[in-house]
Structures are given as structure tokens and as C-alpha cells.
Structure 1
Amino acid sequence: MRTRTGESVLSRAVRIFEAFTPEEPALTVSQISRRTGLHLATASRLVTELVSHGFLARDADRRVRIGVRLWELGTRASPTLSLRDAAMPFMEGVHDVVGHHVQIGVPEGDEVLFLERLTEPGAIINYTRIAGRLPLHVSSSGLVLLAHGPAELQERILAGPLPAHTRHTITTATVLRSTLAAVRQQGYAYCPGYFHEDALGIAAPVRDVRGDVVAALSVIVPNDAGAVSVVPVVRTAARGISRALAARGARGLPG
């Protein structure tokens, strides 16, 4: 079914879902209307219908958030389940050793999308979160995925812009190209202070049954000299996840 503007009702519903962000998981109908560009009456009608199906939910203060049913359906059908299931025992092992943050991410367009994350109170600062995203050039996971990604993706990112987050962020194509070559050669990414001066990211590739890199296992630890000792832990765990995926016959993940 299409509206008089030619846009389908489904497209409008997708715009409503995309209005929510990790920073603002609950919105008023007026906010949804402004963010989607939908007329207030149209937004209200669609929100009410989506709430009736459980895809959205209303808080006690009438604000709207993503409903449990949408999460249920997405989780049930997600091709990433095999990756998360295979990764979790190894992530828990790494977390026991290093504390701080352990996470796994997959490529999603020009960004890395984080599927799972383990952390603890008092760990070093980390801006990633489950279902959060970061640009490929600023994170250890992103550099691993970019280094093993398609040539057209690499050239698109290399063409820039490459925004800086700290004085250590890679901001030129020349440095990024050499960094990607180093990641492929050494088998991991090592990123001191790329996204925050006090934090250091280490990531290693996770491969599917065909040997293709489909994910990156990473840790975020304090940016100090002791971080280098974590590299073999991350690489060993990433290889373990790869073997677990191969044993399951898992191939390819959304990207």
C-alpha cells in the first residue's frame, strides 16, 4: 500500500524505527514527527498501529520506544546468532584475563556494528555499545574489517573524509593504506588512543568456514605499555571463534 506521495506505509514505518538512537531510546510522538518529517497526525496513527502489534511500546509517561516483539523477531531470524553463540565462550575467557571491555563487531556499510560486549564497573572508558556503530577508520575492529574488506570499500573509505577524534586518529589516506597493509600482515590491529586518549583497542579477525573475515574480536584496555601483552590473548580467542564457526558450518554474515 502506498500513500498519495508515492511512499509506502512500510517505508514510513522504517523511518519511525530509525528515529530512535542509542542515546535517545524513548521519544514523544512529536519528536518522532519532527525526526521523520511525517505529519503529526500520520506519525501518531502509525505509532498507535505499531504499538498494537508490539513493535513499539509506550512508557508510563507516554513516550515511545522499540517494542519487545521487534527485538524478538529480529533475534529469532538473525544470521548473526551463530556468530554470537560461537563467540561468547571465548569472549568470556578473554574478559576473565583482561577485564575491561571485550566486544565483537561485524561490517555494516562504512561502519562496524557491535553485536555483543562484555564489560565491568570501573573499566577504561569505551564509547561502543551493543548495536552501536563506529566509523571503520577509528577503531581496531573497524581497521581489521576494512583491511580484509572488498577493494571498493577500502577505496571509498580511503577517499575520505577521515574525521579525527584524537590526535592519534588516522586522518590521511597514506597512513590508512599502510596501516591496513600492516593489519593484514601481522594479523591484528593495535590502536593506541585512536578514539580516546586513555584507551587502546586491539582486534583480530574472525573467519567463517570459507576463511573469509566476517567479524572482529576486540578488547579496549588502558593505553599503557602493558597492553601489548594482550595481543596473543585476543588473537588466540579469535582463532577459537573461527574454528567454532567452521565446526558449525557457518558461512557469511550480513555486511
Structure 2
Amino acid sequence: MEITAHIDALRREGTLLGDAAARTDPDAPVPTCPQWRLRDLVLHIGQVHRWVTATVRDRLPVRMDAERRQAARGPEPDDAGLVAWFRTGHATLVDTLTAAPADLACWTFMPAPSPLAFWARRQAHETAVHRIDADAAAGAEGPPTDPRLALDGIDELLGGFLTASRSTVRSERPRTLQVSPDDGPGRWLLTIGPEPLTVERTERPADLTLTGPARDLYLLLWNRLPAGTGRVAADGDGSLLDLWRETATIG
């Protein structure tokens, strides 16, 4: 996906998140994130939008320290002002990324073609996944994730977060997981063992093969799709999916 497509996705998903939050009690539980109430979710994503905005706008070369991050987040709103506060931060982030130059230089935390490409992509998916959480709190399924965005998000999750040294997806013995969307070109073969998992962009027999629409695989791999729901077929060792649910976490 191009940078402009990621920014468009960020704009759309943030608008949907705000709409879901506006029709939901801030104290509503978030089924996909059991430790959170809706207000926790909205505060989290609103704070992320604000410190990313500051990172891009001020072209910060290193990760913010705790004091500067808190300053970027600003004061927490009360429940009455929560949705408006979120919408303001979201709109400011969209505007900041749209106005940023192609040669933007600032801190990032995963390889990418450029810092601007990194932050546009990361915030599109940060917001899209949490929009799903907001819909879950609202008790109503929102619009399905665009298949192109879902394919891109699978690639970011598998090839970025979960291959990093800090990834907790491990197995005492090597095991393989094939991810094969049936509505797009992406194919990923994961080898999970004692070291960080490895990913190949290929398709071949594996211990467990997951097949289905990209949007359902996206949610399943982000642990947003409860067992037995969606349209994903799991062929092979089901215990590997249990391992994924227990260890594939992003902090």
C-alpha cells in the first residue's frame, strides 16, 4: 500500500472508532481486550495518536522519554469530553502525516522504506485493530476491514512485530504455520521454535494451515477473532493455534 492509502485508512478507521465510542457507555467492557473498559481503549489510542503526532511534527530523532511523552499526551479528558478529545487527536495526526515531507527523518522502531511510510502504516493498523475493539465494546459489528488493508496488516504483524527479538511467540520444538488468504496474493509460512519466528513469503504444507478471507485472518492473528467464529479454516494441529493465542501479544 502507498503512504496515501495508509493515511486514507487511518482517516476512515479513526472515524469509525469515534462513531463506535460515541454510541457506547465509556464504562462498557471491551470483550477483545478484557482488561479494558471503553474509556481505557479510547484514552490509549488517543494518547498514541498524540505522541506519534509530536514525533512526526517535531522530527524527533529518538524515542520520547516518559516526561516528554506525557506532555505530548496532555491532560486526560473526562467521560463527557472523551470522544471529542479522541476525534481532535485523530484529525491532527491525519493532518500531520498528510503534510509531512517524503524525506521526513524521525524515530521509528521497525524497518520501513521511510519514517513517513512507517508511521502512516503503523497508525493505520493501530487504529484499525482498536476500531474492531471499539465495535466489540459497542456490541455491534462494524464495517469489515478492507481486504487490501488486512493483507498489509498481516504482513506488518508477521514480518515486523513477531520476528523481532522481543517477540514471545516461541515453541520448544520447531513447528510450522501456513497463513493463506483466499482473496489476495499474500502467503506466509511461519517457523516457530525456541528462537524468534521466521517468515517466508511462500506456500507449502505445514503443521497448521489457516485459510480464509484476509480480513478474518487479520483479526485472528491479532487475537481479535474468538475461536469458532469467522470464516477461517484451520487444517492440522489445532494446539498450534492455542499456542498463538497465548503467546502472540504486542506490548
TM-score normalised over the length of structure 1: 0.26
Who wins on radius of gyration, i.e. which is larger? 1
Greater relative contact order structure (CA < 8 Å, 6+ sep): 2
TM-score (ref. length: structure 2): 0.26
Q: Which has the higher helix share?
A: 2
* More strand by percentage: 1
